[in-house]
Amino acid sequence: AQTVTQSQPEMSVQEAETVTLSCTYDTSESDYYLFWYKQPPSRQMILVIRQEAYKQQNATENRFSVNFQKAAKSFSLKISDSQLGDAAMYFCAYRSLMYSGGGADGLTFGKGTHLIIQP
């Protein structure tokens, strides 16, 4: 079974600075998707960015970018020019491309990193 580990329970960054959130995962598969979701206090799960494992190029979405290291099974999220609205829980998630007929057919989430933005 795949596992996702977020080793930073909480991170703090000054507004306008850059912060990197870490995520590592364990899998024996070669094809999969990785995601970062943001969960603000409203509890809504919002997709931040997605990375397909077969793509060597790191995904970017405006101020959000990832550093995908497939061999190291690492998938970190970099937030540039941090804004107060970025304050939230951030979850890293793994999605297999194989249909297993069981628990692995959903997203496998890490435990999350609480990001605090200092004004």
Partner 1 sequence: NAGVTQTPKFRVLKTGQSMTLLCAQDMNHEYMYWYRQDPGMGLRLIHYSVGEGTTAKGEVPDGYNVSRLKKQNFLLGLESAAPSQTSVYFCASSFVLQETQYFGPGTRLLVL
Do residues 48 and 93 lie in contact, with contact meaning Cβ atoms separated by under 8 Å?
Answer: no
**String of contacts with partner 1 for each residue 1-20, x by CB under 8 A:** ---x----------------
Which of 11, 24, 45, 74 is in the footprint of partner 1 by CB under 8 A? 45
Total residues at the site for partner 1 (CB under 8 A)?
A: 27
Shortest approach of partner 1 to residue 57 CB, angstroms? 18
Contacts of 9 (CB under 8 A, 6+ apart): 111, 112, 113, 114
Q: How far is the CB of 84 from partner 1 (least distance, A)?
A: 22
The whole-angstrom separation of Cα 84 and Cα 15 is 7
| Rounded Cα gap, residues 22 and 24, in angstroms | 7
The minimum distance between CB 5 and partner 1, in angstroms, equals 10
Residues forming the site for partner 1 (CB under 8 A) = 4, 33, 35, 37, 42-47, 50, 91, 93, 95, 97, 99, 101-103, 105-112
